[in-house]
Structure 1
Amino acid sequence: MQSALYLKDGKMTSNPHILHLIKWKYPERLAELYETMLTKYPLGDKSLIGKLLAARYPDDKRAADLLIQATKSPNPEQSNAAFWALMQTHDSRFAPLLIERMAPASSAAPREPRLDCEVAANLARYADDRRIWNALEPLLREGRRYDAISRLLWVGIEGRKRLHAVQFIRRFLNDAWDATPYFPDTRTHISIGDMAAFYMAEDLGIDAYNFAAWTEKEWKLLREKVREAVKRRCW
Protein backbone atom coordinates (compact mmCIF):
# COMPACT_ATOMS: atom_id res chain seq x y z
CA MET A 1 0.00 0.00 0.00
CA GLN A 2 2.84 2.38 0.79
CA SER A 3 4.18 2.05 -2.77
CA ALA A 4 0.99 3.73 -3.98
CA LEU A 5 2.27 6.94 -2.37
CA TYR A 6 5.68 8.52 -2.95
CA LEU A 7 7.46 11.84 -2.56
CA LYS A 8 7.84 14.13 -5.57
CA ASP A 9 9.44 17.57 -5.27
CA GLY A 10 9.02 17.34 -1.53
CA LYS A 11 5.29 16.58 -1.74
CA MET A 12 3.49 13.28 -1.39
CA THR A 13 1.86 12.12 -4.61
CA SER A 14 0.30 8.90 -5.88
CA ASN A 15 1.31 6.19 -8.34
CA PRO A 16 -1.54 6.04 -10.91
CA HIS A 17 -0.72 2.49 -12.05
CA ILE A 18 -0.85 1.03 -8.55
CA LEU A 19 -3.96 3.06 -7.75
CA HIS A 20 -5.64 1.64 -10.85
CA LEU A 21 -4.98 -1.90 -9.62
CA ILE A 22 -6.17 -1.07 -6.10
CA LYS A 23 -9.32 0.54 -7.51
CA TRP A 24 -10.43 -2.71 -9.10
CA LYS A 25 -9.09 -5.29 -6.64
CA TYR A 26 -9.33 -3.50 -3.28
CA PRO A 27 -11.55 -0.41 -3.72
CA GLU A 28 -12.16 -0.14 0.02
CA ARG A 29 -8.42 0.50 0.53
CA LEU A 30 -8.56 3.72 -1.49
CA ALA A 31 -10.34 5.47 1.34
CA GLU A 32 -7.58 4.36 3.69
CA LEU A 33 -4.93 5.75 1.34
CA TYR A 34 -6.80 8.98 0.86
CA GLU A 35 -7.23 9.42 4.60
CA THR A 36 -3.50 8.81 5.08
CA MET A 37 -2.65 11.48 2.54
CA LEU A 38 -5.05 14.00 4.06
CA THR A 39 -3.81 13.53 7.62
CA LYS A 40 -0.08 13.04 7.04
CA TYR A 41 0.53 14.83 3.74
CA PRO A 42 -2.01 17.68 3.41
CA LEU A 43 -0.04 19.26 0.55
CA GLY A 44 -0.29 16.11 -1.55
CA ASP A 45 -1.76 15.92 -5.04
CA LYS A 46 -5.45 15.60 -5.88
CA SER A 47 -5.47 12.45 -8.02
CA LEU A 48 -6.76 10.25 -5.23
CA ILE A 49 -10.04 12.17 -5.18
CA GLY A 50 -10.92 10.99 -8.67
CA LYS A 51 -9.76 7.46 -7.92
CA LEU A 52 -11.81 7.38 -4.74
CA LEU A 53 -14.96 8.44 -6.59
CA ALA A 54 -14.35 6.11 -9.52
CA ALA A 55 -14.03 3.13 -7.20
CA ARG A 56 -17.00 1.01 -6.25
CA TYR A 57 -16.69 2.31 -2.75
CA PRO A 58 -19.31 0.77 -0.43
CA ASP A 59 -19.53 3.51 2.23
CA ASP A 60 -20.83 6.75 0.70
CA LYS A 61 -20.85 8.55 4.04
CA ARG A 62 -17.19 7.88 4.65
CA ALA A 63 -16.34 9.05 1.13
CA ALA A 64 -18.28 12.27 1.74
CA ASP A 65 -16.58 12.77 5.11
CA LEU A 66 -13.16 12.42 3.47
CA LEU A 67 -14.06 14.89 0.73
CA ILE A 68 -15.28 17.40 3.32
CA GLN A 69 -12.00 16.94 5.16
CA ALA A 70 -10.13 17.53 1.90
CA THR A 71 -11.90 20.88 1.36
CA LYS A 72 -9.92 22.10 4.39
CA SER A 73 -6.58 21.21 2.82
CA PRO A 74 -3.97 24.02 2.67
CA ASN A 75 -3.30 22.90 -0.90
CA PRO A 76 -5.74 24.92 -3.09
CA GLU A 77 -5.78 22.27 -5.83
CA GLN A 78 -6.64 19.61 -3.28
CA SER A 79 -9.42 21.62 -1.64
CA ASN A 80 -10.91 22.85 -4.93
CA ALA A 81 -10.96 19.34 -6.38
CA ALA A 82 -12.69 18.10 -3.23
CA PHE A 83 -15.42 20.74 -3.56
CA TRP A 84 -16.03 19.70 -7.18
CA ALA A 85 -16.14 16.02 -6.26
CA LEU A 86 -18.51 16.69 -3.37
CA MET A 87 -20.83 18.68 -5.64
CA GLN A 88 -20.99 15.81 -8.14
CA THR A 89 -21.60 13.05 -5.62
CA HIS A 90 -23.06 14.46 -2.39
CA ASP A 91 -25.02 17.57 -3.30
CA SER A 92 -26.98 17.62 -0.03
CA ARG A 93 -23.73 18.08 1.88
CA PHE A 94 -22.01 20.25 -0.74
CA ALA A 95 -24.47 23.18 -0.69
CA PRO A 96 -24.45 23.86 3.09
CA LEU A 97 -20.65 23.54 3.19
CA LEU A 98 -20.11 25.94 0.28
CA ILE A 99 -22.51 28.49 1.79
CA GLU A 100 -20.73 28.24 5.13
CA ARG A 101 -17.31 28.76 3.53
CA MET A 102 -18.53 31.80 1.57
CA ALA A 103 -19.79 33.53 4.73
CA PRO A 104 -17.56 35.90 6.74
CA ALA A 105 -15.62 34.15 9.48
CA SER A 106 -16.97 34.67 12.98
CA SER A 107 -14.68 35.15 15.97
CA ALA A 108 -17.15 33.06 17.94
CA ALA A 109 -16.85 30.18 15.48
CA PRO A 110 -13.40 30.24 13.83
CA ARG A 111 -13.03 28.02 10.77
CA GLU A 112 -11.08 27.60 7.54
CA PRO A 113 -10.33 30.74 5.48
CA ARG A 114 -13.16 32.19 3.42
CA LEU A 115 -13.28 30.86 -0.13
CA ASP A 116 -11.62 32.88 -2.88
CA CYS A 117 -14.21 34.80 -4.93
CA GLU A 118 -13.21 33.23 -8.23
CA VAL A 119 -13.29 29.70 -6.82
CA ALA A 120 -16.72 30.33 -5.27
CA ALA A 121 -18.09 31.82 -8.51
CA ASN A 122 -16.82 28.88 -10.53
CA LEU A 123 -18.57 26.44 -8.19
CA ALA A 124 -21.77 28.48 -7.94
CA ARG A 125 -22.33 28.60 -11.70
CA TYR A 126 -22.92 24.83 -11.76
CA ALA A 127 -25.25 24.90 -8.77
CA ASP A 128 -29.03 24.87 -9.16
CA ASP A 129 -29.49 26.36 -5.71
CA ARG A 130 -30.59 29.93 -5.03
CA ARG A 131 -29.12 29.80 -1.52
CA ILE A 132 -25.65 29.48 -3.04
CA TRP A 133 -26.20 32.42 -5.38
CA ASN A 134 -27.52 34.53 -2.50
CA ALA A 135 -24.40 33.75 -0.49
CA LEU A 136 -22.13 34.58 -3.44
CA GLU A 137 -23.31 38.18 -3.85
CA PRO A 138 -21.96 39.58 -0.54
CA LEU A 139 -18.71 37.66 -1.09
CA LEU A 140 -18.15 39.42 -4.42
CA ARG A 141 -19.26 42.81 -3.14
CA GLU A 142 -17.17 42.73 0.03
CA GLY A 143 -14.12 41.35 -1.75
CA ARG A 144 -14.62 43.70 -4.72
CA ARG A 145 -13.39 40.85 -6.89
CA TYR A 146 -15.76 41.60 -9.72
CA ASP A 147 -13.46 39.92 -12.21
CA ALA A 148 -15.09 36.75 -10.86
CA ILE A 149 -18.22 37.79 -12.78
CA SER A 150 -16.44 36.62 -15.92
CA ARG A 151 -16.63 33.04 -14.60
CA LEU A 152 -20.38 32.97 -14.35
CA LEU A 153 -21.40 32.82 -18.02
CA TRP A 154 -18.62 30.66 -19.42
CA VAL A 155 -19.56 27.98 -21.92
CA GLY A 156 -20.85 24.84 -20.29
CA ILE A 157 -23.92 25.88 -18.33
CA GLU A 158 -27.42 25.90 -19.76
CA GLY A 159 -31.03 25.83 -18.63
CA ARG A 160 -31.85 26.73 -15.04
CA LYS A 161 -28.18 27.12 -14.08
CA ARG A 162 -27.61 29.71 -16.78
CA LEU A 163 -30.83 31.43 -15.72
CA HIS A 164 -29.46 31.72 -12.18
CA ALA A 165 -26.23 33.24 -13.56
CA VAL A 166 -28.04 35.79 -15.75
CA GLN A 167 -30.39 36.84 -12.95
CA PHE A 168 -27.43 37.14 -10.60
CA ILE A 169 -25.44 39.38 -12.96
CA ARG A 170 -28.48 41.63 -13.50
CA ARG A 171 -28.13 42.75 -9.88
CA PHE A 172 -24.84 44.46 -10.73
CA LEU A 173 -25.94 46.41 -13.83
CA ASN A 174 -26.23 49.74 -12.02
CA ASP A 175 -23.12 49.38 -9.87
CA ALA A 176 -20.34 51.84 -10.64
CA TRP A 177 -17.63 50.69 -8.22
CA ASP A 178 -14.24 50.03 -9.76
CA ALA A 179 -13.13 46.44 -10.02
CA THR A 180 -9.67 44.97 -10.35
CA PRO A 181 -7.80 46.01 -13.53
CA TYR A 182 -9.51 44.70 -16.65
CA PHE A 183 -8.96 45.36 -20.34
CA PRO A 184 -5.64 46.96 -19.28
CA ASP A 185 -4.72 47.91 -22.85
CA THR A 186 -7.54 50.47 -22.97
CA ARG A 187 -8.55 51.30 -19.39
CA THR A 188 -6.99 51.02 -15.97
CA HIS A 189 -10.21 49.81 -14.38
CA ILE A 190 -13.65 48.72 -15.46
CA SER A 191 -16.70 49.18 -13.28
CA ILE A 192 -18.78 46.21 -12.23
CA GLY A 193 -21.74 47.71 -14.13
CA ASP A 194 -19.68 47.73 -17.33
CA MET A 195 -18.48 44.20 -16.74
CA ALA A 196 -21.99 42.93 -16.01
CA ALA A 197 -23.28 44.56 -19.21
CA PHE A 198 -20.42 43.09 -21.24
CA TYR A 199 -21.06 39.53 -20.07
CA MET A 200 -24.85 39.78 -20.40
CA ALA A 201 -24.69 41.20 -23.93
CA GLU A 202 -24.16 37.82 -25.60
CA ASP A 203 -27.23 36.30 -23.92
CA LEU A 204 -29.24 39.30 -25.10
CA GLY A 205 -28.08 39.12 -28.72
CA ILE A 206 -26.04 42.32 -28.47
CA ASP A 207 -22.63 42.53 -30.12
CA ALA A 208 -20.34 43.82 -27.39
CA TYR A 209 -17.22 43.50 -29.51
CA ASN A 210 -17.94 46.23 -32.07
CA PHE A 211 -16.65 49.08 -29.93
CA ALA A 212 -13.30 50.29 -31.21
CA ALA A 213 -11.93 52.42 -28.39
CA TRP A 214 -13.99 51.37 -25.37
CA THR A 215 -14.44 54.98 -24.35
CA GLU A 216 -16.68 55.98 -21.47
CA LYS A 217 -19.30 57.01 -24.04
CA GLU A 218 -19.22 53.55 -25.64
CA TRP A 219 -19.48 51.80 -22.28
CA LYS A 220 -22.46 53.96 -21.42
CA LEU A 221 -24.10 53.05 -24.74
CA LEU A 222 -23.55 49.34 -24.08
CA ARG A 223 -25.03 49.60 -20.58
CA GLU A 224 -28.09 51.37 -21.97
CA LYS A 225 -28.57 48.73 -24.68
CA VAL A 226 -28.33 45.93 -22.12
CA ARG A 227 -30.74 47.61 -19.70
CA GLU A 228 -33.31 48.12 -22.46
CA ALA A 229 -32.94 44.52 -23.59
CA VAL A 230 -33.34 43.29 -20.01
CA LYS A 231 -36.63 45.19 -19.71
CA ARG A 232 -37.96 43.47 -22.84
CA ARG A 233 -36.65 40.01 -22.05
CA CYS A 234 -38.29 37.47 -19.79
CA TRP A 235 -36.00 34.61 -18.79
Structure 2
Amino acid sequence: MASPGDATIWLRRAREDIGSVCRTLYQRGWMEGTSGNVSVSDGSVAVISASGRAKGRMTARDTVALRLADGSPLPGESERPSAETSIHLAVYRAIGATAAVIHAHSPYATALSARHERHGGTGSVLLERWELAKGLGMREPDLVALPVFLNRSDVPRIAQEVTEHLERADVRTPPALLIARHGLTVWGRDVDQAQNRLECVEALCRLALLTDANERGEQYGESA
Protein backbone atom coordinates (compact mmCIF):
# COMPACT_ATOMS: atom_id res chain seq x y z
CA MET A 1 0.00 0.00 0.00
CA ALA A 2 1.31 3.45 -0.91
CA SER A 3 2.22 5.80 1.90
CA PRO A 4 0.14 8.97 2.38
CA GLY A 5 3.01 10.98 0.93
CA ASP A 6 3.24 8.79 -2.16
CA ALA A 7 -0.54 8.95 -2.61
CA THR A 8 -0.46 12.75 -2.45
CA ILE A 9 2.30 12.91 -5.07
CA TRP A 10 0.41 10.51 -7.34
CA LEU A 11 -2.81 12.50 -6.97
CA ARG A 12 -1.12 15.79 -7.83
CA ARG A 13 0.59 14.27 -10.86
CA ALA A 14 -2.67 12.70 -12.06
CA ARG A 15 -4.49 16.03 -11.88
CA GLU A 16 -1.69 17.80 -13.77
CA ASP A 17 -1.57 15.09 -16.45
CA ILE A 18 -5.32 15.33 -17.03
CA GLY A 19 -5.18 19.10 -17.47
CA SER A 20 -2.24 18.82 -19.87
CA VAL A 21 -3.84 16.13 -22.04
CA CYS A 22 -7.11 18.05 -22.27
CA ARG A 23 -5.33 21.22 -23.41
CA THR A 24 -3.31 19.29 -25.98
CA LEU A 25 -6.34 17.55 -27.46
CA TYR A 26 -8.30 20.81 -27.49
CA GLN A 27 -5.54 22.33 -29.62
CA ARG A 28 -5.86 19.42 -32.07
CA GLY A 29 -9.61 19.98 -32.38
CA TRP A 30 -10.46 16.72 -30.64
CA MET A 31 -11.91 18.21 -27.43
CA GLU A 32 -13.67 21.33 -28.58
CA GLY A 33 -15.58 23.42 -26.04
CA THR A 34 -16.38 21.30 -23.00
CA SER A 35 -16.41 18.00 -24.89
CA GLY A 36 -14.31 14.99 -23.96
CA ASN A 37 -12.97 13.66 -20.68
CA VAL A 38 -9.80 12.11 -19.26
CA SER A 39 -9.15 9.99 -16.19
CA VAL A 40 -6.28 8.22 -14.42
CA SER A 41 -6.49 5.39 -11.88
CA ASP A 42 -4.01 3.79 -9.47
CA GLY A 43 -6.26 0.76 -8.97
CA SER A 44 -8.20 2.14 -6.00
CA VAL A 45 -8.73 5.83 -6.83
CA ALA A 46 -9.68 7.40 -10.14
CA VAL A 47 -9.15 11.07 -10.97
CA ILE A 48 -11.33 12.44 -13.78
CA SER A 49 -11.92 15.75 -15.50
CA ALA A 50 -14.76 17.76 -13.98
CA SER A 51 -18.02 18.23 -15.85
CA GLY A 52 -18.57 21.28 -18.02
CA ARG A 53 -14.98 22.52 -18.14
CA ALA A 54 -13.59 24.19 -21.26
CA LYS A 55 -10.80 21.83 -22.29
CA GLY A 56 -8.63 24.56 -23.76
CA ARG A 57 -8.32 26.09 -20.27
CA MET A 58 -8.17 22.92 -18.18
CA THR A 59 -5.97 22.91 -15.09
CA ALA A 60 -5.29 20.46 -12.27
CA ARG A 61 -8.06 22.18 -10.29
CA ASP A 62 -10.67 21.09 -12.83
CA THR A 63 -10.60 17.45 -11.73
CA VAL A 64 -12.34 15.15 -9.25
CA ALA A 65 -10.89 12.22 -7.28
CA LEU A 66 -13.23 9.25 -6.78
CA ARG A 67 -13.14 5.87 -5.09
CA LEU A 68 -12.93 3.24 -7.80
CA ALA A 69 -15.09 0.80 -5.87
CA ASP A 70 -18.27 2.89 -5.80
CA GLY A 71 -17.53 6.14 -7.65
CA SER A 72 -17.95 8.29 -4.55
CA PRO A 73 -15.78 11.43 -4.26
CA LEU A 74 -12.88 11.54 -1.85
CA PRO A 75 -13.19 13.89 1.15
CA GLY A 76 -12.73 17.52 0.18
CA GLU A 77 -13.75 17.10 -3.47
CA SER A 78 -16.32 19.69 -4.55
CA GLU A 79 -16.44 19.52 -8.35
CA ARG A 80 -18.96 17.43 -10.30
CA PRO A 81 -17.28 14.62 -12.28
CA SER A 82 -17.76 14.06 -15.99
CA ALA A 83 -21.15 12.75 -17.05
CA GLU A 84 -19.33 9.74 -18.54
CA THR A 85 -17.58 8.73 -15.32
CA SER A 86 -19.46 5.43 -15.22
CA ILE A 87 -17.89 4.38 -18.54
CA HIS A 88 -14.39 5.14 -17.25
CA LEU A 89 -15.06 3.17 -14.06
CA ALA A 90 -16.41 0.25 -16.09
CA VAL A 91 -13.15 0.09 -18.03
CA TYR A 92 -11.01 0.22 -14.88
CA ARG A 93 -13.02 -2.46 -13.14
CA ALA A 94 -12.84 -4.72 -16.20
CA ILE A 95 -9.11 -4.44 -16.89
CA GLY A 96 -8.13 -4.45 -13.20
CA ALA A 97 -4.97 -2.40 -13.55
CA THR A 98 -3.41 0.99 -13.10
CA ALA A 99 -4.42 2.84 -16.23
CA ALA A 100 -5.69 5.96 -17.97
CA VAL A 101 -8.81 6.49 -20.10
CA ILE A 102 -9.34 9.22 -22.71
CA HIS A 103 -12.60 10.06 -24.45
CA ALA A 104 -12.34 12.51 -27.36
CA HIS A 105 -14.43 13.66 -30.31
CA SER A 106 -11.71 13.08 -32.89
CA PRO A 107 -13.36 13.67 -36.28
CA TYR A 108 -12.53 10.56 -38.31
CA ALA A 109 -13.39 8.12 -35.53
CA THR A 110 -16.64 9.97 -34.84
CA ALA A 111 -17.56 9.99 -38.53
CA LEU A 112 -16.82 6.29 -38.85
CA SER A 113 -18.92 5.53 -35.78
CA ALA A 114 -21.90 7.21 -37.44
CA ARG A 115 -21.53 5.15 -40.60
CA HIS A 116 -21.36 1.87 -38.68
CA GLU A 117 -24.12 2.53 -36.17
CA ARG A 118 -26.34 -0.48 -35.58
CA HIS A 119 -29.95 0.06 -34.58
CA GLY A 120 -30.90 -1.64 -31.32
CA GLY A 121 -27.51 -3.01 -30.38
CA THR A 122 -23.77 -2.86 -30.85
CA GLY A 123 -21.80 -3.40 -34.02
CA SER A 124 -18.14 -3.28 -34.87
CA VAL A 125 -15.78 -1.77 -37.41
CA LEU A 126 -13.27 -4.30 -38.76
CA LEU A 127 -9.86 -2.75 -39.36
CA GLU A 128 -7.90 -5.30 -41.37
CA ARG A 129 -4.17 -5.54 -42.13
CA TRP A 130 -3.14 -2.01 -41.17
CA GLU A 131 0.44 -1.79 -39.90
CA LEU A 132 -0.55 1.04 -37.57
CA ALA A 133 -2.72 -1.36 -35.56
CA LYS A 134 0.47 -2.62 -33.89
CA GLY A 135 0.42 0.62 -31.90
CA LEU A 136 -2.55 -0.72 -29.95
CA GLY A 137 -0.43 -3.45 -28.35
CA MET A 138 -2.65 -6.29 -29.56
CA ARG A 139 -1.61 -9.91 -30.03
CA GLU A 140 -3.50 -10.10 -33.36
CA PRO A 141 -3.20 -6.63 -34.96
CA ASP A 142 -4.09 -7.89 -38.46
CA LEU A 143 -7.79 -7.93 -37.57
CA VAL A 144 -9.06 -5.32 -35.13
CA ALA A 145 -12.76 -5.37 -34.24
CA LEU A 146 -13.48 -1.85 -33.01
CA PRO A 147 -16.85 -1.92 -31.20
CA VAL A 148 -19.55 0.67 -31.81
CA PHE A 149 -22.04 1.32 -29.02
CA LEU A 150 -25.31 3.19 -29.36
CA ASN A 151 -25.29 6.66 -27.88
CA ARG A 152 -27.79 6.83 -25.02
CA SER A 153 -28.87 9.51 -22.57
CA ASP A 154 -28.71 6.74 -19.95
CA VAL A 155 -24.91 6.69 -19.63
CA PRO A 156 -24.83 3.94 -16.95
CA ARG A 157 -26.54 1.70 -19.49
CA ILE A 158 -23.68 2.32 -21.93
CA ALA A 159 -21.28 1.54 -19.09
CA GLN A 160 -23.04 -1.78 -18.48
CA GLU A 161 -22.79 -2.64 -22.17
CA VAL A 162 -19.09 -1.78 -22.10
CA THR A 163 -18.65 -4.09 -19.10
CA GLU A 164 -20.37 -6.93 -20.93
CA HIS A 165 -18.27 -6.29 -24.03
CA LEU A 166 -15.00 -6.39 -22.09
CA GLU A 167 -16.05 -9.59 -20.35
CA ARG A 168 -16.22 -11.18 -23.82
CA ALA A 169 -12.93 -9.70 -25.03
CA ASP A 170 -10.64 -11.80 -27.23
CA VAL A 171 -7.46 -11.29 -29.27
CA ARG A 172 -9.34 -9.08 -31.77
CA THR A 173 -10.63 -6.72 -29.08
CA PRO A 174 -8.71 -3.41 -29.02
CA PRO A 175 -8.23 -1.14 -25.98
CA ALA A 176 -10.72 1.24 -27.57
CA LEU A 177 -14.39 1.71 -28.39
CA LEU A 178 -16.67 4.03 -30.33
CA ILE A 179 -19.98 5.53 -29.28
CA ALA A 180 -22.08 6.25 -32.35
CA ARG A 181 -22.11 9.91 -33.43
CA HIS A 182 -20.35 10.76 -30.19
CA GLY A 183 -16.67 9.87 -30.14
CA LEU A 184 -13.77 7.58 -29.33
CA THR A 185 -12.68 6.15 -25.98
CA VAL A 186 -9.28 4.49 -25.48
CA TRP A 187 -7.21 3.30 -22.54
CA GLY A 188 -3.62 2.44 -21.68
CA ARG A 189 -1.31 1.93 -18.73
CA ASP A 190 -0.85 5.74 -18.38
CA VAL A 191 -1.90 8.96 -20.13
CA ASP A 192 1.02 8.79 -22.58
CA GLN A 193 0.10 5.32 -23.82
CA ALA A 194 -3.61 6.17 -23.90
CA GLN A 195 -2.91 9.28 -25.99
CA ASN A 196 -0.70 7.30 -28.35
CA ARG A 197 -3.47 4.77 -28.82
CA LEU A 198 -5.99 7.54 -29.37
CA GLU A 199 -3.82 8.88 -32.19
CA CYS A 200 -3.42 5.39 -33.68
CA VAL A 201 -7.15 4.65 -33.69
CA GLU A 202 -7.98 8.05 -35.15
CA ALA A 203 -5.45 7.45 -37.93
CA LEU A 204 -6.85 3.95 -38.56
CA CYS A 205 -10.37 5.38 -38.84
CA ARG A 206 -9.10 7.98 -41.29
CA LEU A 207 -7.47 5.26 -43.40
CA ALA A 208 -10.65 3.18 -43.30
CA LEU A 209 -12.75 6.10 -44.52
CA LEU A 210 -10.26 7.03 -47.24
CA THR A 211 -10.03 3.43 -48.46
CA ASP A 212 -13.79 3.07 -48.51
CA ALA A 213 -14.19 6.33 -50.45
CA ASN A 214 -11.57 5.20 -52.98
CA GLU A 215 -13.26 1.84 -53.50
CA ARG A 216 -16.62 3.51 -54.01
CA GLY A 217 -15.07 5.87 -56.52
CA GLU A 218 -13.61 2.95 -58.50
CA GLN A 219 -16.98 1.22 -58.55
CA TYR A 220 -18.71 4.35 -59.83
CA GLY A 221 -16.06 4.70 -62.53
CA GLU A 222 -16.59 1.12 -63.76
CA SER A 223 -20.36 1.56 -64.01
CA ALA A 224 -20.23 4.93 -65.80
Give the TM interval when normalised to the shorter protein: under 0.3
Q: Which structure dedicates a bigger proportion of its chain to helix?
A: 1
Larger radius of gyration: 1
- State TM-score, norm by structure 2: 0.24
Which structure carries more relative contact order (alpha carbon 8 Å, separation 6+)? Answer: 2
- State TM-score, norm by structure 1: 0.23
Q: Which structure dedicates a bigger proportion of its chain to strand?
A: 2
